[in-house]
Chain A
Amino acid sequence: MTDYWLSKLFFDLQHDAQLVADYRADMAAVIDRYRIKPEVRRALLDDDVAALSPLVNAYLLRFYFQVRGMPQDEFMARLHAMNAPVAPAEPAKAGHG
C-alpha cells in the first residue's frame, strides 16, 4: 500500500540538495516535517529496507537508499533476503525430569 508522505519525502530528497544535506545532518528532524507514521519513522531511522519496500515505488526506494549511502550490493542483498523462506520454528525440546 502506497504511503503518500513517505513517498513525498523520497521524492523531495530527489529534487532538493539542501534537503539531502539537512537529512544527512539530522534525519529525525527532517522526518518530522512530514506526516510520517511512527512505525515508518522507526523504519527510516533503522534503514529497514524490508519495512519500507512495500510502502513506496521501487524506483524511489532505490534512490532513497542511494541518498542514505547504502552500497548497491547491500541494498540488493536486503531486498533479496525478503524472498528467503522463513525458517520453521524449532520444535520445543522435551524437558527432563
Chain B
Amino acid sequence: MAKLVGIFAASHGPIIARDWETMPRDHRARLTAAFDEIGRRLRACEPDLLVVVSPDHWVNFFINNLPAICIGIGDEHDGPPEPFMKKVYPHAVLKGHAAFGRHLLQTALDNDFDPTLSHRLTLDHGTCIPLWRSGVDPELPLVPILVNDLEAPMPSIRRCFAWGRLVRRAIDSYPEPLRVAVLGTGGLSHSIGETTMGWIDESFDHACIDAFARGEERQLDAFLTEQLDRTGNGAHEIRDWVIAHAAAGSTGFELIDYFPSPATLVGAGFASWQAPAS
C-alpha cells in the first residue's frame, strides 16, 4: 500500500520569481532559508510522487467554466506559462502520475465527491514557485489538485477538511507501495488587486498559525469561515493548507517560518506536519 511520508505548506507570489534578484537581501535570505528547509525535509522523506494543492491563477479556467476542485490525472502537465516563471523555472513539461491521479479521482467519486478532471493541466507560479525555490526534483511526478481560491463562491473550509481526509484515504488505499508527499501552496494573508492591496494582516496570520498548531478542526473551521472574508483576498489560498492539514490527520503541525514580506506582498508562511507513523 502507498504511504503518506510528508506534508508541507508554503507561500507563493509572483514577485518572488519576478523580482528575486532585486528584492531586499534580508527578505531573500529569509525566503531562501524557509524554502530550503521545505526542500530538505521533502527530499528526506524520499517521495515517489507529490500531490500539490494550489490555486489556479486564471491559467486553466475562466468564469465560463470554473471548477471548485480539479484533479490532474495526466502523465504530463505543462510548466508555468508566465514569462517571469519561464526564466527561473524553464520546465515546459512536468511529469504527472496518471495511475495515482486516477485512483484519487475514483476514490473521490466513490465517496460522493464530484471533482472535475484534467489530463493535462498548466501549472502556474502557484504550483511552481515552491517547487523551484525548494529545489524539488523537476522529475518528481506530480498529481496537481487545483482549488478555486480566487473567485467566490469558493469551496467551504469544511469541504476542504473533507478533501484533505479524502486525499489521505486515497493514499492509504493505493495498492502500490508508493511514498506520497503533499504540498499545499499559497497564503497566508495578502491582498491583490483590491482596495487594500499590499495589506498583510499579521494578526490574522498569527491566529491562523495558532489554530493550525492546536489542530482542532472545528475551531480552525470556525475561525477561517468567519475571518476569511475580513482579510485580504489572497488568504483564501489557506484552503490549500487546510487540505494538507486534514491529509495529515489534523495533527503534527510545525511552523517552519512566518514573516510579513511587504516586498513580495504576502504574509510568508512555511510549515510541515508530522507524517503518520508506519
Mark A residues whose CB is within 8 Å of B.
2, 4, 7-8, 11, 14-15, 53, 57-63, 75-76, 79-80, 82-83
Distance between A69 CB and nearest chain B CB, rounded to angstroms: 14
Among B62, B196, B198, B233, point to the contact of A11 (Cβ < 8 A): B62
B contacts with A: majority SS: loop
Q: A76-B198, A79-B195, A82-B195 are in contact. Are A59 and B63 (CB under 8 A)?
A: no
A40 to chain B, nearest CB (A): 16
Q: Is the CB of B62 within 8 A of A58?
A: no
Majority-rule SS of A interface residues: helix
Give how many A-B residue pairs fall within 8 Å (CB-CB).
52
CB neighbours (8 Å) of A58 from chain B are: 192-194, 197, 233
CB within 8 Å of A: which of B50-68? 57-59, 62-64
Are A79 and B194 closer than 8 Å at their CB atoms?
Answer: yes
Cβ of A57 and Cβ of B150 under 8 Å apart? yes
Complex CA–CA separation, A60 to B258 (angstroms)? 27
> Contact at A2–B58, with CB atoms within 8 Å?
no
Contact assessment for A53 and B195 in the assembled complex, using a CB-CB cutoff below 8 Å = yes
Between-chain CB contacts (< 8 Å), 15 pairs: A7-B63, A11-B62, A58-B193, A58-B194, A58-B197, A59-B150, A60-B193, A62-B193, A62-B197, A75-B197, A76-B198, A79-B193, A79-B196, A79-B197, A80-B195
